[in-house]
Amino acid sequence: MARRIGMSTAAITLMVTMQFVGALFGVILGHAAARRAKMPFVVWPGVAARGLIGLLAFARTPIPFLVIACAFNLLVNVGGPAYASIMLTNYSNANRGRLMGNIRILITMVSAICSSAAGFVLVRNEDVVRWLFLVAAVFGVLSSLTFGTIKVRREPELPPEPSGRPAGSGLRLLRGNRPLLLFLGLLFLCAMPDKLAVPLEPIWMVDVLHIGYGEASFFLGSIVSLASVAGYFFWARALKRVNSLALLSLVSLVFAGRFAAMALVHSSSQLLAMSIFSGLANAGWDLVPLFCMIALSDASSFSLAVGLHWTLFGIRGLAGPSIGTFLYSSGALSLNGIFWLIAALLAFGSVAMLVFARRTFPRAPWMRLGRL
């Protein structure tokens, strides 16, 4: 939508990277959520962010669209550490993967239906997209308020109030937990490369593939959603039988396949493989890193550990798009060249994570899937 109303490459980069600016405050928010009720940290940023979506219906030029989208992206990830803590306290270890997977399957199925319906409508009248923003805002706000009615159970005993600043607490946590430190470093390696493509994918789809609303709805909505359903089913059940760190290595390898498939695409009709890889990888990134964090940290420090993870997510999210935009704008690499580079880096990160899993949990069933 931003590209179609004339937004520049630099403005799109700013718009899509703003979500990572919000994530930079993860260590502070994780520290705060560790000693306070967690639900407000999830509900009210969600209400504000999703309410802003409705304002996009009235943005007809690039600058208002940019301001509103940046505000949305700034707030959308604020509740991440608190949300992860609620998932830890409300679900038992034995059932957490299955329950989270099933919930996400239902969400994804609804998304597939809605995206198909939206695409059907937009093919006939593109101007209806502004009404879709309003509908999305209403459902988004209601969903956040409904989530707020959930009772947070089995809160772990809170740690003593740490002295010093939250960042200092995070550094002390890392110094005392070498496996977590190594994991965050390897996760940075696995999760950084794809950020190079964040501002480039809209340009690639619109300027190179000339993809329309109907094709976007089918490939990027319906197919990705259906593949995500299969992904959630697989990853959630694999988590009960395979070490989460080894499983994350497989997720990274699948993500490498996504960018290899993108590099081979020459027309919008060839997006099927990329869409399938996208759905499988998205489901894996949604579930598996959280279980890795649970395996490497205790309940009392979990919020802060996730907060540190979100801060690093913000750092790589800011650096990656800037690097990708520079590589493309300077002519150093073509879009296909950047996609191949991302695929190679993700494959390397996958191997490094697998080696780490083997050495950290040598007795875990890291290669034995069994019956899922």
CB 226 within 8 A of CB 280: no
pLDDT band, very low/low/confident/very high, at 368 (cuts 50, 70, 90): very low
For tokens 């950084």, what's the residue?
Answer: 192
Question: Whole-angstrom Cα distance, residue 171 to residue 168?
Answer: 5
User: In this predicted structure, which of 39-53, 224-238, 287-301 has the lowest mean pLDDT?
Assistant: 287-301
pLDDT band, very low/low/confident/very high, at 10 (cuts 50, 70, 90): confident
| DSSP one-letter string for 79-121 | THHHHHHHHHHHS-TTTHHHHHHHHHHHHHHHHHHHHHHHHHH
Q: Residue 273: is its pLDDT beyond 80?
A: yes
For 127-181, how does the pLDDT look when each residue is reduced to its tens digit (9 = 90+)?
Answer: 788 888 999 999 999 999 999 998 887 655 544 555 555 555 555 656 677 888 8
Percent of the chain with pLDDT over 90: 30
In a domain, 367, yes or no: no
User: For the chain, what is the domain count?
Assistant: 1
H/E stretch holding 52: helix 39-55
pLDDT band, very low/low/confident/very high, at 72 (cuts 50, 70, 90): very high
In a domain, 294, yes or no: yes
| pLDDT at residue 231 in the model | 92
pLDDT band, very low/low/confident/very high, at 213 (cuts 50, 70, 90): confident
Tokens of 14: 């700013």
In a domain, 160, yes or no: no
CATH number (domain holding residue 270): 1.20.1250.20
In a domain, 233, yes or no: yes
| pLDDT at residue 121 in the model | 84
In a domain, 147, yes or no: no
In a domain, 159, yes or no: no
For 290-320, how does the pLDDT look when each residue is reduced to its tens digit (9 = 90+)?
Answer: 889 888 877 666 777 788 888 888 888 888 8
Angle, in degrees to the nearest 10, between helices 9-23 and 302-329: 170
Residue ranges making up the domain that contains 221: 9-138+167-360
Percent of the chain with pLDDT over 70: 88
In a domain, 55, yes or no: yes
| pLDDT at residue 52 in the model | 93
Report the amino acid identity of residue 318. L
In a domain, 158, yes or no: no
- CA angle 209/211/215 to nearest 5° reads 130
| pLDDT at residue 219 in the model | 84
pLDDT band, very low/low/confident/very high, at 198 (cuts 50, 70, 90): confident
CB 268 within 8 A of CB 210: yes
User: In this predicted structure, which of 27-41, 231-245, 259-273 has the lowest mean pLDDT?
Assistant: 27-41
| pLDDT at residue 304 in the model | 76
- pLDDT mean over 336-342: 95
| pLDDT at residue 318 in the model | 85
Question: Whole-angstrom Cα distance, residue 123 to residue 115?
Answer: 12
Give the residue, 138 or 115, on which the prediction is more confident. Answer: 138
Q: Residue 354: is its pLDDT beyond 50?
A: yes
